[in-house]
Amino acid sequence: MIPLLLGLLFLFPAAGRAVEGYRVYESTAASVNGEVFFVSDVARESCFLGCAAMPGTGEEILSLRETRDRLILDALGLQEQRKLLLGAVDNVMLEGYAREAESRMTACPSPCKREIAPGETREWIRRKLLLRDFFNRRVAVFVEVKADDVRRELARRSSSPGNDADPTREEVLQEMLDARIAQEIRNWQTRAASKSRIVLSPMEDR
């Protein structure tokens, strides 16, 4: 009977945070290798992305389902980070990013920011920075761009009609390196997802 009840608690609304003396119940959005995410987690992620809370980024308006997919990919990376103990967050960097993120959230016109509890912005930034460092150590360090590839790309750009830009070799190298790192991270995420147990709950976009 107990396993059945536990299953019903997962499939149907699960207990959430208490607000103003009342018990709030909310639905699960997904489970990633046993780690459960609620609809409120997805909504919070959507708010941070829509408000461009991460310094250096622009606003991203995603559906709840698209945001859930992003959250799942982050979870896969953070689960592997905990498993390998690979990656760290510099405290000075964290404080600087967190201050700017909080300023961005304050300036954000979206009413969703009212649902962000004190400390959640800083914790969100910490997770994002930890994830970034993990991928730098787990993926980016192994990516390289050959000199011949850079020369070919420079030649292609210089021969393109109407191309007034004149990037340096270092700029082209960095662009190519960033693109390859991004692709390798996507490849890693695809492999991780294929080996993971991911359960999605029905969820309507709002």
Positive or negative, the CA dihedral 172, 175, 179, 181 is: positive
Task: Identify the structural domains of the chain with CATH numbers, from first to last.
Answer: 11-200 (1.10.4030.10)
Model confidence pLDDT, tens digit, residues 96-150? 999 999 999 999 999 999 999 999 999 999 999 999 999 999 999 999 999 999 9
> Do the beta carbons of residue 81 and residue 131 sit within 8 Å?
yes
SS3 20: coil
36-81 pLDDT, tens digit per residue, is: 999 999 999 999 999 999 999 999 999 999 999 999 999 999 999 9
Find where tokens 């760290």 sit.
88
